[in-house]
Amino acid sequence: MRGAFQEPGLARCSVADTRDAGGCWLAKLLGSPDATRRERGLALLRTMIRIRVLEEGLEKHFLGGDIPGFAHLSIGQEAVAAGACAQLRRDDSIASTHRGHGHTLAKGTAMRPMVAELFARSTGVCRGKGGSMHIADFSMGMLGANGVVAGGFGLVAGAALSAVQRKTDQVALCFFGDGATNRGPFHENLNLCAVWNLPAIFVLENNRYASTTSTAETMKIADVALRAAGYGIPSRIVDGFDAFEVADAVGEAVQRARSGGGPTFVECKTYRARGHFIGDPERYREKSEVHGVMSVSDPIARMQLSLGEALEPAEFEQLWQAAREEFADAVAFAKSSPAPDASDAFFGAFSGDREEGNPVRRIEARERDAMLPFAPNVGPGSQGSGH
């Protein structure tokens, strides 16, 4: 079949089959010496299109009143999520930001529980309690989106420390924005990860804005990667619209981290093509600026261009069609799902819910634990149980 990949030990995946497009098999594909450039490009393209379809659909449903809360879109930035997560295994960890739909999907969370979560339904990956800004999926090593800017750094330092203590070769990757690098947790955790030589990867999505403020107004340096040098962390600056470039840089960083070489900083120059949040009137920039950037840098169009004749128009359309069908199916699933039950209010809130005899414990906790990237309650001095 055209566009089909055969991965050792994994189910055969065709470009039309988008259900299980987790980072785990993408990582094997990208790392496989047999994979062609076309296969790698198609895999990355598929992830980017799935993210785009998800977010354009969410925008519509949000404005239509179907989705409660607040949502931030990453349209324009898909190459970063796709390229970075493609280099990770399922048992590696990521920490995300308030703009985390793409990261979550690219790391492997399936479309149905993802959309159900955004619709605040009981079938959501966090049983509808997380929503857009607090979605997490431990079964995929997705430690959580974050309403607190710079909230992911400590999680990643902790996951990386846990991997070292348990003597695994897992890595932890932190996505963050340019604005987050002006906060204390960025500096504290980069320093700690550097001096402890932890397997952490810092992936900056420099999208030129923090809320309504241009980055040029909040820092005197054009390349935030300079800050990594202050902590002795090697860095690379890449075109964040080019999923191949992102994947290459993050692949190198993952290799360094897995082999005991410590953290790496990857600055991805990208752009936020939508407002800061859905509904943002965007008074701080001209529409022409957005059109100007996206007309030459849209990461999906860039990949299409980069693949050239290796990608047939019908194949490209097939990817869009498959993603649209997948999203429509997930919306129908979410809409037919019940709202969270009051009895689930405390589920997942306490470590005790995994203990035998605890009244709030659920059988699912045991099942999910079996898939956790690291043991619960692992701290310094503990060996953990190494799930």
**Cα 44 off chain centre by:** 13
Question: How far apart are CB 216 and ligand TPP at their closest, in Å?
Answer: 12
User: Considering beta carbons, is residue 72 or 121 the nearer one to Mg ion?
Assistant: 72
Question: How far apart are CB 69 and Mg ion at their closest, in Å?
Answer: 20
Q: How far apart are CA 5 and CA 180, in angstroms?
A: 38
User: Considering beta carbons, is residue 205 or 242 the nearer one to ligand TPP?
Assistant: 205
Q: Which residues bind ligand TPP (CB under 6 A)?
A: 97-99, 147-149, 177-180, 207, 209-211, 272, 276
Residue 233: which of 278, 277, 181, 281 has the closest Cα?
181
- The residue with its CB nearest to ligand TPP is 177
- Per the structure block, which two tokens stand in for 206? 């420099």
- The residue with its CB nearest to Mg ion is 177
Contacting range for Mg ion; rule: CB under 5 A; set: 65-73, 119-127, 201-209, 341-349: 201-209
User: Considering beta carbons, is residue 78 or 178 the nearer one to Mg ion?
Assistant: 178
CB 77 within 8 A of CB 52: no
User: Considering beta carbons, is residue 29 or 71 the nearer one to Mg ion?
Assistant: 71
CB 39 within 8 A of CB 5: yes
For Cα atoms 357, 340, 152, give the angle at the middle one, nearest 5 degrees: 80
Q: Amino acid letter at 193?
A: C
Question: How far apart are CB 205 and ligand TPP at their closest, in Å?
Answer: 6
Contacting range for Mg ion; rule: CB under 5 A; set: 27-35, 96-104, 203-211, 220-228: 203-211
Q: How far apart are CA 113 and CA 102, in angstroms?
A: 14
Contacting range for Mg ion; rule: CB under 5 A; set: 57-65, 110-118, 152-160, 169-177: 169-177
Torsion angle, CA of 245/54/271/80, rounded to 10 degrees?
-20
User: Considering beta carbons, is residue 93 or 270 the nearer one to ligand TPP?
Assistant: 270
Stretch 173-192: interaction string toward Mg ion, x if CB under 5 A:
----xxx-------------
Question: How far apart are CB 354 and ligand TPP at their closest, in Å?
Answer: 30
Q: How far apart are CA 179 and CA 227, in angstroms?
A: 13
Question: How far apart are CB 178 and Mg ion at their closest, in Å?
Answer: 4
Question: How far apart are CB 300 and Mg ion at their closest, in Å?
Answer: 20
Pick from ligand TPP, Mg ion, none: which does 351 bind, CB < 5 to 8 A by kind? none
Q: How far apart are CA 192 and CA 157, in angstroms?
A: 8
User: Considering beta carbons, is residue 18 or 74 the nearer one to Mg ion?
Assistant: 74
Neighbouring residues of 143: CB distance < 8 A, sequence distance ≥ 6: 93, 94, 95, 96, 136, 152, 155, 156, 159
